[in-house]
A and B are shown apart, each in its own frame.
Chain A
Amino acid sequence: MNAATPSRISLAPLHAVLAQLDDFILGKPRETRLALACLLARGHLLIEDVPGVGKTTLAHALAATLGLAFQRVQFTSDMLPADLIGVSIYDRDSHAFRFHAGPVFSQVVLADEINRATPKTQSALLEAMEERQVTLDGETRELPDPFFVIATQNPSSQIGTFPLPESQLDRFLMRITLGYPDVAAERAMLLGEDRREMLRDAKPVISLAELADSQHAVRRVHVAPALVDYVQALCRATREAPDFHNGLSPRAALGLLAAARAWALLAGRDMVIPEDVQAVFAAVATHRLLARASNRPQPELVAKLQAAVAIP
């Protein structure tokens, strides 16, 4: 075992991150943990929920707690790719074009209501997500590292939206829903401090180097052949199941494994066990599996499928 094995890195900062996130988002430890796992696995996150349940707060809290630069972009139907990526403007003093970086040049980007933008703008963002770089006027510009996109979608209003096609949904490692808080959590939130002020005062609890180490450590979490069997069995089941249009792609299988590794790391384990895969499966698979009957993601079908696949 070499120096970077998970057992050797300190998990304390990561646990501190989780603790602070749970202070901001009350009563959703599982969702915040998934969001952090997604970031550690270098994936992007899609949050699909009704307005006002804390999507923005979660994104903001993540950025603040990790000490990352944060930008929020409200997507609208008249938005152009330049509004996102940036634009070169002629500078009279220097007699040259100067690049004015758009909001995408940020470590954490919150793309609010991504399905309101035109496909052209959507694809500009999704391309940046995949390549982690932006090419403009023949010049390629690296995006910051880490680069983490949190996109939100409002499922209830579909009028005047451009739903993301399956190929683009596939680029989000996870899709989570926050849902309404339970009574106790909501009460604590109502009685507690104002979230805005809390966020303004929040201090990062992990250094950039520690975060990068953690991301490296995720890749080194051990995956045994028996576990790959299980991941393959799950993927095969989605491809053979009658309920879905398409099964999970190989990219999704890779994502599932990466997410399970991150989950195992957060649990302080240096190997992935089937429970890790199960913990992230719904978040990784649901948005990729459109049900035949409704043409929409159906979490209960995914849960049924997972329960039907025996662990090899």
Chain B
Amino acid sequence: MNPDRLDRTQILALLAVLTGLLLPHAGRLPNWLLGALAILFGWRIWLIRTQGRMPPKWVLLPITFGLIVGVFIEFRTLLGRTGGIALFAALIGAKLLETRSRRDALLLVYLGYFLVVTNLLFDQTMTLAAYLCAMVLIITTLLIGWHTLGGWTGQWRVAFKQARFAGVLMLQALPVMALLFVFFPRIEGPLWRLPQDRGSIRSGLADSMSPGSFSNMSKDDSVAFRVSFEGERPAQELLYWRGPVFLDYDGRTWTQSPPNATTSPRIEGGTQPPLRYAITLEPHQRPWLLALDMPAMVPDEGRMSDQLQLVGRRQVSKRLRLELSAYLQYRAGVDEDEAMLARALVLPEEGNPRARQQAAAWRTLPPQARVDAVLQLFTGQGLQYTLAPPLYGSNAVDDFVYGGKQGFCEHFAGAFVFMMRAAGVPARVVGGYQGGEENGDYLIVRQADAHAWAEVWLEGQGWQRVDPTFAVAPSRIEEGLASAVNDSDLPYLLRLDNNLVKRAQLALDSMVNGWNQWVIGYTPERQRQVLKRLGITDLLSGKFVAVFLGSIGLCIALIAGWLLWRMRPPKPDAARQLWDSFCRRLAAYDLVPARAEGPRDFAHRAMARLPHRKTEIQAILDGYLAARYGSGGGLEQLKQRVVGFGR
């Protein structure tokens, strides 16, 4: 039996762990490579089953070379993020076919640890982190198994003990990990440049609005963003999360004109101080940032556009946490320039004659009265708010207001703005989200909360928010989507009844939010803030580095000390203590007992060396043997003899 030989169970376990670690990469690797890996893994399993011979070098080398060339052709590089992983996976597959001994397997185990890290280059969600923690536990268990003699004994009980040991090791590493997490200088920006990932666009607000685009989103319960307020949460009907502004209408589709961030209208807050809050956006692959209407400040990450919209410097392709503030009462764009106002009056050449005609009749009224007249028309017509409006023809506004009378927010907002423009009041459609669901101390806003409303410009008051949906179905705004429509059409999470599944989902979301806030959201900026509170301003100062390394050292020393303390030998009994002290006295004569030397043998050796003290040594030996191995007693006498021996 060669202890270095690998047990088949150990190889299978190794294969399973490596598969588990490559699994999250599966979507990133080309199909041909996945196939090749499956063949290599399968080959290894087949070799275990048949006890067959490993392929010789001249077979292995072309395979390895072929895989490398394949990766290079596919990615045009062997470095980079995905290319590097592909190369790494290919080489692991090839290495498996020459894994004979424990040494080879240990190498694969260490590569496994590296695979864990590579997964975090792509994804840092809590789920993946938990998965990787489990994987680290399993690899560590394997590693412990290889270093424990006998290795896999076929007993699950032993494997479980080893897993528990691995868990203890991981827990011991926790304090050091926490210290490194908090204090290790963060790097600005990602390590690799993120690819322009077209495939991963989430459903969400688009840069245009056509009938159906919002009602489709009402079925999507994925999270758009989460918000935590610094103070009191405002009332539900004030929670308008401002997104893209749709200014241009071609008779069917409202489109956003590219935001121009060089100038922006003036915003004045009311008497109340701005409301401060933090918003964590899920990646939506669009440049705009969502903000509570009306933003009171512009964050570092973005700019204010000419349409009072916050726009990021680049696409939001990873989770983004912003600290913002908002005026709930405001006057915005009182001095709006003529060009913008003119654009806010443009209508298509033709279409919707009835709405046009009715609105034109109100041109004589003062602007505020025109707004009220349209809203009254909407309520008077008995318009209904529904998730499944019919499809309207080319005269969509006429068909909706005077015909079908059923619509979702985009119909209301679109029809309202159309009629306002026809009545000569500058107006535009604003897209975004409305409301949100309270979960503990924060608010979840989902894609289904997407909403469209209108903004009209009134002399002296600037842009004022008008929500025609509110006029018709106030419960949508005050209590949320589910109360305004028949909620069996909605996904589970969006319905009203507060069942167990929903509560569990909300609890989970709360955890995810914590993870996003404290782990993902621990950016260089936040690190600076945290450290500043601890009185550390310069991360690279000698003093800080000393404290940092010192505290890590202290952590390790504490754990090591605790372990040593636990492993300390039991306190010897009184007889043994006396004997030990006797041995210490003899050490002066260069007499030290060997590790397994019995007391009698040692005493005889000492008597041979010190013949003149023979009787004393014999007496101490007899006393010790009687006290410790005999029926006990005589300790006092032994003590006197031992003490007397020194003189």
> Is B500 interfacial (CB-CB < 8 Å)?
no
Q: Using CB atoms, name the residue of chain B closest to A273.
A: B629
Q: Are A278 and B598 in contact (CB under 8 A)?
A: yes
> Is B495 interfacial (CB-CB < 8 Å)?
no
Q: Are A227 and B598 in contact (CB under 8 A)?
A: no
A266 CB to nearest chain B CB (Å): 15
Q: A222-B631, A224-B630, A273-B629 are in contact. Are A242 and B598 (CB under 8 A)?
A: no
> Is B532 interfacial (CB-CB < 8 Å)?
no
Q: Are B3 and A271 in contact (CB under 8 A)?
A: no
> Is B625 interfacial (CB-CB < 8 Å)?
yes
**Which of A101-109, A202-210, A302-310 faces chain B?**
A302-310
> Is A48 interfacial (CB-CB < 8 Å)?
no
Complex Cα gap A278–B3 (Å): 30
> Is A187 interfacial (CB-CB < 8 Å)?
no
Q: Are A308 and B630 in contact (CB under 8 A)?
A: no
Instruction: Convert B560-587 into 0s and 1s, putting 1 for each residue whose CB lies closer than 8 angstroms to a CB of A.
Output: 0000000000000101100000000000
Q: Are A273 and B625 in contact (CB under 8 A)?
A: yes
Q: A226-B576, A242-B3 are in contact. Are A310 and B629 (CB under 8 A)?
A: no
Q: Using CB atoms, name the residue of chain B closest to A292.
A: B1
Q: Using CB atoms, name the residue of chain B closest to A230.
A: B598
Q: A226-B573, A226-B629 are in contact. Are A274 and B1 (CB under 8 A)?
A: no
Instruction: Convert A251-291 into 0s and 1s, putting 1 for each residue whose CB lies closer than 8 angstroms to a CB of B.
Output: 00000000000000000001111110010000000000000
Q: Are B630 and A310 in contact (CB under 8 A)?
A: no
> Is B600 interfacial (CB-CB < 8 Å)?
yes
Complex Cα gap A30–B576 (Å): 30
Kindly identify which residue among A224, A271, A278, A292 contacts B596, using a CB–CB cutoff of 8 Å. A278
Complex Cα gap A123–B58 (Å): 54
B3 CB to nearest chain A CB (Å): 7
Complex Cα gap A257–B133 (Å): 48
Q: Using CB atoms, name the residue of chain A closest to B575.
A: A226
Instruction: Convert B237-267 into 0s and 1s, putting 1 for each residue whose CB lies closer than 8 angstroms to a CB of A.
Output: 0000000000000000000000000000000
Q: Are A311 and B598 in contact (CB under 8 A)?
A: yes
> Is B474 interfacial (CB-CB < 8 Å)?
no
Instruction: Convert A21-39 into 0s and 1s, putting 1 for each residue whose CB lies closer than 8 angstroms to a CB of B.
Output: 0000000000000000000
> Is B283 interfacial (CB-CB < 8 Å)?
no
Q: Are B601 and A275 in contact (CB under 8 A)?
A: yes
Kindly identify which residue among B576, B596, B630 contacts A270, using a CB–CB cutoff of 8 Å. B630
A44 CB to nearest chain B CB (Å): 27
Kindly identify which residue among A271, A293, A295, A309 contacts B630, using a CB–CB cutoff of 8 Å. A271
What DSSP secondary structure best describes chain B's contact surface? Answer: loop
Given the complex, which residues of A lie within 8 Å of B630, measured CB to CB? 222, 224, 270-271
Given the complex, which residues of B lie within 8 Å of A308, measured CB to CB? 595-596
Contact-size category for B: 20 to 34
Q: Are A311 and B596 in contact (CB under 8 A)?
A: yes
B140-156: which have CB < 8 Å to A? 149-150
Complex Cα gap A306–B595 (Å): 10
Given the complex, which residues of A lie within 8 Å of B149, measured CB to CB? 240, 242
Q: A307-B595, A310-B595 are in contact. Are A271 and B576 (CB under 8 A)?
A: no
Q: Are A226 and B3 in contact (CB under 8 A)?
A: no
> Is B599 interfacial (CB-CB < 8 Å)?
yes
Complex Cα gap A226–B572 (Å): 10
Given the complex, which residues of A lie within 8 Å of B600, measured CB to CB? 273-275
Complex Cα gap A224–B626 (Å): 10
Q: Using CB atoms, name the residue of chain B closest to A226.
A: B628
Q: Are B576 and A274 in contact (CB under 8 A)?
A: no
A103-144: which have CB < 8 Å to B? none
B644 CB to nearest chain A CB (Å): 23
Q: Using CB atoms, name the residue of chain A closest to B632.
A: A224
Complex Cα gap A272–B630 (Å): 8
Given the complex, which residues of A lie within 8 Å of B628, measured CB to CB? 224, 226
Given the complex, which residues of B lie within 8 Å of A306, measured CB to CB? 596
Complex Cα gap A220–B575 (Å): 23
B411 CB to nearest chain A CB (Å): 78
B622 CB to nearest chain A CB (Å): 11
Instruction: Convert A224-246 into 0s and 1s, putting 1 for each residue whose CB lies closer than 8 angstroms to a CB of B.
Output: 10110000000000001010000
Complex Cα gap A295–B594 (Å): 30
Given the complex, which residues of A lie within 8 Å of B3, measured CB to CB? 242, 292
Complex Cα gap A240–B628 (Å): 27
Given the complex, which residues of A lie within 8 Å of B150, measured CB to CB? 242
A280 CB to nearest chain B CB (Å): 13
Instruction: Convert B213-233 into 0s and 1s, putting 1 for each residue whose CB lies closer than 8 angstroms to a CB of A.
Output: 000000000000000000000
B610 CB to nearest chain A CB (Å): 20
Q: Using CB atoms, name the residue of chain A closest to B596.
A: A307
Given the complex, which residues of B lie within 8 Å of A271, measured CB to CB? 625-626, 629-631
Q: Using CB atoms, name the residue of chain B closest to A303.
A: B596
Complex Cα gap A307–B628 (Å): 21
Complex Cα gap A310–B597 (Å): 8
Given the complex, which residues of B lie within 8 Å of A292, measured CB to CB? 1, 3
Complex Cα gap A240–B630 (Å): 30
Complex Cα gap A144–B436 (Å): 94
Q: Are A310 and B596 in contact (CB under 8 A)?
A: yes
Complex Cα gap A310–B595 (Å): 5
Given the complex, which residues of A lie within 8 Å of B573, measured CB to CB? 226
B17-45: which have CB < 8 Å to A? none
Complex Cα gap A212–B631 (Å): 25
B584-615: which have CB < 8 Å to A? 594-601
Q: Using CB atoms, name the residue of chain B closest to A270.
A: B630
Q: Are A309 and B596 in contact (CB under 8 A)?
A: yes
Q: A226-B573, A242-B3, A292-B3 are in contact. Are A272 and B596 (CB under 8 A)?
A: no
Kindly identify which residue among A1, A274, A295 contacts B599, using a CB–CB cutoff of 8 Å. A274
A295 CB to nearest chain B CB (Å): 8
Given the complex, which residues of B lie within 8 Å of A310, measured CB to CB? 595-596
Given the complex, which residues of B lie within 8 Å of A311, measured CB to CB? 596-599
Complex Cα gap A129–B598 (Å): 34
Q: Using CB atoms, name the residue of chain A closest to B628.
A: A226
Given the complex, which residues of B lie within 8 Å of A272, measured CB to CB? 629
Q: Are A273 and B595 in contact (CB under 8 A)?
A: no
Given the complex, which residues of A lie within 8 Å of B576, measured CB to CB? 226
Instruction: Convert A41-67 into 0s and 1s, putting 1 for each residue whose CB lies closer than 8 angstroms to a CB of B.
Output: 000000000000000000000000000
Given the complex, which residues of A lie within 8 Å of B1, measured CB to CB? 292-293, 295
Q: Using CB atoms, name the residue of chain B closest to A279.
A: B598
Q: Are A274 and B595 in contact (CB under 8 A)?
A: no
B428-458: which have CB < 8 Å to A? none
Given the complex, which residues of B lie within 8 Å of A226, measured CB to CB? 573, 575-576, 628-629
Given the complex, which residues of A lie within 8 Å of B598, measured CB to CB? 273-275, 278, 311
B311 CB to nearest chain A CB (Å): 67
Given the complex, which residues of A lie within 8 Å of B631, measured CB to CB? 1, 222, 271
| Chain B CB within 10 Å, residue with most, of A222, A272, A311 | A311
Complex Cα gap A242–B151 (Å): 11
A274 CB to nearest chain B CB (Å): 4
Given the complex, which residues of A lie within 8 Å of B599, measured CB to CB? 273-275, 311
Q: Using CB atoms, name the residue of chain B closest to A276.
A: B598
Complex Cα gap A273–B594 (Å): 16
Q: Using CB atoms, name the residue of chain B closest to A307.
A: B596
Complex Cα gap A240–B149 (Å): 8
B621 CB to nearest chain A CB (Å): 10
Complex Cα gap A308–B149 (Å): 18
B353 CB to nearest chain A CB (Å): 95
Complex Cα gap A307–B593 (Å): 12
Q: List 13 contacting pairs A-B, 8 Å CB cutoff, sorted by A.
A: A222-B630, A222-B631, A226-B573, A271-B625, A271-B626, A273-B598, A273-B600, A273-B625, A274-B599, A306-B596, A311-B596, A311-B597, A311-B598
Interface residues of B (CB under 8 A from A): 1, 3, 149-150, 573, 575-576, 594-601, 625-626, 628-632
Interface residues of A (CB under 8 A from B): 1, 222, 224, 226-227, 240, 242, 270-275, 278, 292-293, 295, 306-311
Question: What are the 8 tightest A-B residue pairs by CB atom distance, in nearest-first order?
Answer: A274-B598, A275-B598, A242-B149, A271-B630, A224-B629, A271-B629, A307-B596, A273-B629
Besides A1-B631, A226-B575, A271-B630, 4 more A-B contacts (Cβ < 8 Å) are A242-B3, A271-B625, A292-B1, A311-B599
